[in-house]
A and B are shown apart, each in its own frame.
Chain A
């Protein structure tokens, strides 16, 4: 799967968890600054994507995934 395909799959998840529109989400979106996520929202998204892609994101890695693009890059490299 390439980045664009992953983006289309994670958009509804992120939109649902943050209560925002899918059209607000781009590769460049910063979860906290652009999408209005709080720490619990980030954990919620992370947990949902871990389940979706059968992977585990260690806390120290998760804290680095501050943009949608970074999250997608991680999924691309680690999804099972």
Chain B
């Protein structure tokens, strides 16, 4: 199966690092134009490196700073993408953070900041692109959830709630937009080696890997492959689903 994204226009939030970056590289290698969203000025340099890496390899990438907590910044980004490339075919809601604490120690701010970026950011970006996708009767939205959103995780009540919310949001949106040929799906990564998981204590890492059936930690590429499949024409009859990519961790 050859996934072809020639001339497809993809927006990936939080694409300057980790899983988002890998998704951007994957789409680009399959022919897509990729819009690299990054959140802050301090991330500009790493975002530029991703763009350079893509463009020097014959791809087409543009970096754009927009904080998904602010609707105006999201709208500016989408307007710019439409101005440059004439539309948007695929949105990957990947931007996400963790703020791990036991519930008893979790502040309102710890809770809200994770919900704002992970869940509300996904809602806002999806709403902003849906009008354009609706008009053209084509669209693919892939939301990055997490196995923690399906199972819950101690120390991650905020993160688990946001990622579980993304699953329900995905299903509701799939129902609203199915008749417009817009599919909406989730990928739920398990334990993936990125900056987000590198901060965990070694004992926690080893415990996770011990529970994974495929005896290794997941890679951003593992997630990228699932995202590309869901965005492809081959997946046009799949909507409202969650693909768990966790090596069997939660089985």
Tell whether B137 is near chain A: CB-to-CB under 8 Å: yes
In Å, the complex CA distance between A38 and B180 comes to: 11
Tell whether A16 is near chain B: CB-to-CB under 8 Å: yes
Residues of A within 8 A of B179 (CB): 38, 40
Check B137 against A44 for contact (C-beta < 8 Å).
no
Residues of A within 8 A of B177 (CB): 40
Residues of B within 8 A of A19 (CB): 137
Tell whether B176 is near chain A: CB-to-CB under 8 Å: yes
> What is the 8 Å Cβ interface bit string for chain A, positions 3-17, against chain B (1 contact, 0 not)?
000000000000011
Determine chain A's interface SS by DSSP, over half rule. Answer: helix
Give min CB distance, B19 to chain A, whole Å: 31
Tell whether B135 is near chain A: CB-to-CB under 8 Å: yes
**Interface residue tally on A, bucketed by range:** under 10
Check A40 against B134 for contact (C-beta < 8 Å).
yes
In Å, the complex CA distance between A47 and B127 comes to: 14
Check B176 against A16 for contact (C-beta < 8 Å).
no
**Interface residue tally on B, bucketed by range:** under 10
Check A40 against B176 for contact (C-beta < 8 Å).
yes
In Å, the complex CA distance between A48 and B119 comes to: 28
In Å, the complex CA distance between A20 and B78 comes to: 28
Check B135 against A16 for contact (C-beta < 8 Å).
yes
In Å, the complex CA distance between A19 and B177 comes to: 15
Give residues of chain B (141-179) contacting chain A, Cβ–Cβ below 8 Å: 176-177, 179
In Å, the complex CA distance between A17 and B134 comes to: 9
Check B135 against A40 for contact (C-beta < 8 Å).
no
Give min CB distance, B17 to chain A, whole Å: 36
> What is the 8 Å Cβ interface bit string for chain A, positions 23-47, against chain B (1 contact, 0 not)?
0000000000000001010001001
> What is the 8 Å Cβ interface bit string for chain B, positions 117-147, against chain A (1 contact, 0 not)?
0000000000000010011010000000000
In Å, the complex CA distance between A19 and B135 comes to: 10
Between B137, B177, B180, the greatest number of chain A beta carbons within 10 A of the residue's beta carbon is seen for B180
In Å, the complex CA distance between A17 and B136 comes to: 9
Residues of A within 8 A of B180 (CB): 40
Interface residues of chain B, those whose CB is within 8 Å of chain A, are 131, 134-135, 137, 176-177, 179-180
Other A-B contacts than A17-B135, A19-B137, A40-B179, 10 sampled, CB-CB below 8 A, are A16-B135, A38-B179, A40-B134, A40-B176, A40-B177, A40-B180, A44-B131, A44-B134, A44-B135, A47-B131
**A-B complex: 8 closest residue pairs judged by Cβ atoms:** A44-B134, A38-B179, A40-B176, A40-B179, A40-B180, A19-B137, A40-B134, A16-B135
Q: 13 A-B pairs, CB-CB below 8 angstroms?
A: A16-B135, A17-B135, A19-B137, A38-B179, A40-B134, A40-B176, A40-B177, A40-B179, A40-B180, A44-B131, A44-B134, A44-B135, A47-B131
